[in-house]
Amino acid sequence: MPVAVSNSVYGIIKDAMSDAGFLQEGDDPNSEQLSVYMRRLCDIINLWQTDGLKLFLLEEVSINLVGGQNTYALNNLPGVFPEKHLRVIQGRIVTPQGEFRTINPISWQEWNTLQQTDPGAITGYFVDKQAKSLVVRFWNTPNVQEALNTAILLVQTQADNPFNLESDVSFPQEWRIALRWGLADDICTGQPGAIMQRCQERAMVYKTQLENWDVEDAPTRFSPNFRGAYNTGGFR
């Protein structure tokens, strides 16, 4: 069944301009307005991806391990699109038999203080966030036996920016109203105070509502973190 609301760039911009008081009923935006407001919409989309967890942006990336190699750039992996990945959420190692074990994230400080050992089984991963890619470094460096396994990372990918006015945004339909009012709030500077206040309040309400909704259905489970041992010199 077709939907009555368009999730296209043009539809969002036109509604946002109406909300901000720039368009009357029956009016259409001109080419200059569409060009400027499309850039601003892309700015909002890119920023919102850094605020909270967007479940629709999560995907699993598989890394075929290589013995003696501990560093892998995600955008250089075979079969992985060269889009930027924003963060790594979780990781695990999976054997050819389907058995798996969890690996833990490592901070910059921990990575710099870890003793370099002979290749062995992977217990953790460090994410080096570069401007255009995520570089993942494993500890320990996988040995020949570990290289038979696969590292699977749950990553947050970057939503593609729309490339024309008729293309749909990467955010799903339920996010449309928040994008619409977020754009209206961004472009309404100079309008009467009542319009500016309404745009600001609705943009905040709708975005907050969606952020609160954007959580997993299953409860989160916590487990002890045993990595602290090597910080006190007791790691072997």
Percent of the chain surpassing pLDDT 70: 89
The residue written with tokens 């105070």 in the block is 193
Domain that holds residue 150: 57-157
Residue 115 pLDDT more than 90? no
Total number of domains in the chain: 2
Residue 73 pLDDT more than 50? yes
pLDDT per position as a tens digit, 16-46: 999 999 999 889 999 999 999 999 999 999 9
Bond into 140 cis (ω within 30): yes
User: How many H helices and E strands in the chain?
Assistant: 5, 7
* 52 confidence band (pLDDT: 50, 70, 90): confident
The residue written with tokens 């009923």 in the block is 25
At 82 the pLDDT is: 59
Beta strand pairing call for 124-129 and 100-106:
parallel
Q: Are 45 and 64 part of one and the same domain?
A: no
Distance CA 205, CA 201 (A): 6
Q: Are 36 and 73 part of one and the same domain?
A: no
For the CA atoms of 211, 214, 218, 223, the dihedral, rounded to the nearest 10 degrees, stands at -60
- What does the block give as tokens for 126? 């460090």
Q: What mean pLDDT is reported for the chain?
A: 88
Residue 225 pLDDT more than 60? no
List the single range of 12-21, 43-52, 94-103 with lowest mean pLDDT: 43-52
C-alpha torsion sign, points 18, 19, 22, 25: positive
Q: What is the mean pLDDT of residues 171-191?
A: 96
Distance CA 117, CA 124 (A): 13
Q: Which residue, of 157, 190, 222, is where some domain finishes?
A: 157
Q: Are 87 and 127 part of one and the same domain?
A: yes
- Whether residue 222 is contained in a domain is answered as no
The residue written with tokens 């203080």 in the block is 113
Q: Are 150 and 176 part of one and the same domain?
A: no
Residue 92 pLDDT more than 80? yes
- Whether residue 230 is contained in a domain is answered as no
At 222 the pLDDT is: 54
Residue 234 pLDDT more than 50? no
At 177 the pLDDT is: 96
- Whether residue 236 is contained in a domain is answered as no
- Whether residue 193 is contained in a domain is answered as yes
- What does the block give as tokens for 100? 């798996």
pLDDT per position as a tens digit, 125-145: 999 999 888 999 999 999 999
* 232 confidence band (pLDDT: 50, 70, 90): very low
The residue written with tokens 């990553």 in the block is 155
Q: Identify the residue with better confidence: 64 or 52.
A: 64
Distance CA 110, CA 114 (A): 6
With 0-12 / 13-18 / 19 or more C-beta atoms within 10 angstroms meaning exposed / middle / buried, residue 158 is middle
Strands (E), the chain: 58-64, 71-73, 85-94, 100-106, 124-129, 134-139, 150-157
- Whether residue 34 is contained in a domain is answered as yes
